[in-house]
């Protein structure tokens, strides 16, 4: 998936600067492309924080293969790994 995949979904700016969007979609808040995706994304990520890191392509492949082999997704495998690290350093595992 491209880093810029959602840029293709955005409408291009019109050459006229005086163009105004229709007021009906602003008043009602109905924008099907953003309201549906935003509601799904916000619901699934509600109360969660992202943790990001950069690894070698070999590490990425190994983690994805391991997750698939054990019937997990990458997030579940990473949560298990983070809990193992917390236990190693004497912290309580958080779960999930």
Condensed to tens digits (0 to 9), the pLDDT of residues 23-38 reads: 544 555 555 555 555 5
8 A C-beta contact, residue 31 and residue 25: yes
Give domain status of residue 11, yes or no: no
The answer, yes or no, to whether residue 41 has pLDDT greater than 90, is no
The answer to whether residue 49 is domain-embedded is no
Q: What secondary structure letter does DSSP report for 70?
A: T
For residue 15, being part of any structural domain is answered with no
Q: Which residue has the higher pLDDT, 72 or 11?
A: 72
CA 87 to chain centre: 27
Q: How many structural domains are present in the chain?
A: 1
Residue 21 lies in a domain: no
Report pLDDT digits (tens) over 58-93: 999 999 999 999 999 999 999 999 999 999 999 999
> What sections of 9-73 are H helices per DSSP?
23-28, 32-44, 57-69
Residue 85 forms part of a structural domain: yes
Residue 91 sits in which domain range? 64-96
The pLDDT of residue 11 is above 50: yes
**Domain-located, residue 46:** no
Is residue 72 assigned to a domain?
yes
pLDDT of residue 5: 57
Q: Is the dihedral of CA 20, 25, 28, 33 positive or negative?
A: negative
């Amino acid at each position: 998936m491209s880093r810029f995949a959602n840029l293709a979904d955005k409408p291009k700016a019109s050459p006229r600067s005086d163009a105004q969007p229709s007021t009906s979609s602003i008043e009602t808040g109905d924008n099907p492309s953003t309201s549906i995706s935003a509601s799904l994304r916000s619901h699934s990520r509600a109360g969660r924080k992202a943790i990001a890191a950069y690894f070698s392509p070999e590490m990425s492949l190994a983690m994805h293969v391991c997750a698939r082999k054990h019937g997990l997704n990458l997030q579940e495998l990473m949560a298990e790994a983070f809990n193992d690290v917390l236990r190693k350093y004497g912290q309580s595992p958080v779960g999930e």
